[in-house]
Amino acid sequence: MRFLQNVQFCSSSRKAKILTVRLSSPKTTGIYQIFRGLKFEPDAEIGQKGMLYKGLISNIWLLLAFLVVVLLVQGCSSRHVSPDHHYTPIKEKTLARMGYTIQAGAFSKVENAARLTDYLNRQNLDAYYFAYRKGLYKVRFGNFLSKEYAYREAEILKAMGAINSFYIVSPSEYSAAKERKYGKKYLRGELVKTAKTFIGVPYRWGGSSANKGFDCSGLTMAVYKLNGLNLPRTSNRQYRMGAYIDRNNLSRGDLVFFNTSGNGKVSHVGMYLGGGKFIHAPRKGKTVRISSLSSKYYRKRYSGARSYL
């Protein structure tokens, strides 16, 4: 298979079993391709800090790689952070720009796009689906330093039967890459335009069944990443990053946070559209929609806002 052409086997009769392990932390997101039974050594960076390894790997290292995977914690409300007067901010005020991304699939049914997204997220690949155009959904995932690394990962997934055809999205294709030419107002407008394409879509992060609910922070992450801005996955990190914005100074594209759980901690996030409106993925059984910040429910539960531009 093509993705094994550059691998030298210790024995011509030995078959390599491939395991993909993705590590994710506040400072590191990467892919480790482990070729069981082969020696490995540092080869190249993937993602922000990831490295592709080849060759023989000891059982101890393999075990450690598996253990790191358990760091993955998903869900909009599974991680909470207290409102503004309690939270511990992260130093970064702006977001890193996206590198090369893999785009796969062309689904007429959103359930199928959600199913592929669910599978890729179980591999810790930060996948998200979106409406490519009316009646057609596609999936994007990954963040790679070069087109070569993105292509290599896509070929591996294709050989495993996870995806079929794919397309590598270049950083220059994102709206964020055009900010210098057109300004922040343009980029904020593109964020709003992208967010509105999700209206009415049953956006799900962790499953292909509506019974598993919808994920607010997965939606905001998708909107930002589709425009080339690497917004973190969880509402916890989204809330702790960026710059504090007073409610009276909100701009389009800012994120607004709420305490909907009643425990004094942030548990919901949406994106401000202007005119006192925001777009969000509500509780399970609901589709992505626009709501008013001045409504009694959200006015009482408002916790703060962040800007990343």
Number of Cβ within a 10 Å radius of residue 229:
23
Give the number of domains in the chain. Answer: 2
185 with 50, same domain: the answer is: no
Q: Is residue 160 part of a domain?
A: no
Q: Are residues 307 and 185 in the same domain?
A: yes
Q: Are residue 52 and residue 199 in the same domain, yes or no?
A: no
Same domain, 195 and 51: no
Assess if residue 40 is contained within a domain: yes
239: domain CATH number is 3.90.1720.10
Q: Is residue 194 domain-resident?
A: yes
Which of these three, 39, 69, 99, is where a domain ends?
Answer: 69
Closest by CA to 116, choosing from 173, 160, 146, 65, is 160
Q: Are residues 82 and 205 in the same domain?
A: yes
Spatial neighbors of 281 by CB under 8 A, at least 6 apart, are 76, 198, 203, 214, 215, 216, 218, 219, 287, 288
277 plus 200 within the same structural domain = yes
Question: Are 80 and 30 in the same domain?
Answer: no
> What is the reported pLDDT for 265?
81
**223 located within any domain:** yes
Which helix (H) or strand (E) is 219 found in, with range?
helix 216-226
- Taking alpha carbons only, the member of 196, 215, 206, 218 closest to residue 278 is 196
Mean pLDDT, each 10-residue run in order, the chain (309 residues) = 35 36 38 35 38 39 46 40 48 84 93 89 88 90 96 96 95 96 96 94 54 68 96 87 94 94 85 97 81 95 94
Query: For residue 61, what pLDDT is reported?
Result: 52
For the beta carbon of residue 266, count every other beta carbon within 10 angstroms: 29
Tokens of residue 160, six digits: 């495993």
For residues 22 and 80, state if they share a domain: no
The answer to whether the beta carbons of residues 102 and 154 sit under 8 Å apart is: yes
Q: Domain span at residue 253?
A: 76-88+175-309
Q: State the Cα–Cα distance between residues 212 and 208, nearest whole angstrom.
A: 8
